[in-house]
Amino acid sequence: MMHHHTLDTPAGPFTYVVSDAGAVRAAGFTTDVGSLLSLVHKDLREETRPAASPGPVGAAVLSYLDGDLTAIDGVVVEQHTTGPFMAHAWQVMREIKPGAPVTYTGFAELAGRPSAVRAAATACARNAVALFVPCHRVLGTDGTLRGYRWGLGVKTWLLAHERHDPS
């Protein structure tokens, strides 16, 4: 069984889907639980119900929004992929510090495959647990904002918040 909860945030509604063990399996800036469930790997997909309270994951998100930018770092996530690079890339992505975004090229280098810029971009695109695996911290190779599943306005807000300059 999985549970979901939605929080109101300055960047818009943020919904997360959590396993009974407390691992986030999907998260994003939406109220559409179905769209989040479609991001969960089929081997991890279970029936989901609304959570009675925000729980520890919600508390971490609220602390992050209140300015403790490392509050989400300890949240356990659970994504599944068929390739070892993707799992490694998601772990590396979690190590990108708030306020210090990197380019796709820089991310590929951090992941140990400097020539795999497209694979790095794919890791961002396939990330099912936005915010906790901070794909918003990866920018276009020229340093500009590129696509973000939840919209460039959300990405802009998150990056500004992490610079301690929310707009």
Residue 14 to residues 101, 112, 113, 155, Cα–Cα distance (Å): 21, 32, 32, 13
Helix or strand run (H / E) with residue 108: helix 104-110
Look up residue 158 and give its two tokens.
């998150």
Annotated active-site residue in 135, 138, 139, 159: 135
- For residues 35 and 27, is the Cβ–Cβ distance under 8 A? no
Which letter, b or e, does each residue of 27-61 get, where b requires 16 or more Cβ atoms within 10 Å of its Cβ?
A: bbbbeebeebbebbeeebbeebeebeeeeebbebb
Q: Which of 151, 79, 107, 8 has its CA nearest to residue 159?
A: 151
Q: What are phi and psi of 101, to 5 degrees?
A: -60, 160
Is 135 among the catalytic positions? yes
Catalytic residues: 135
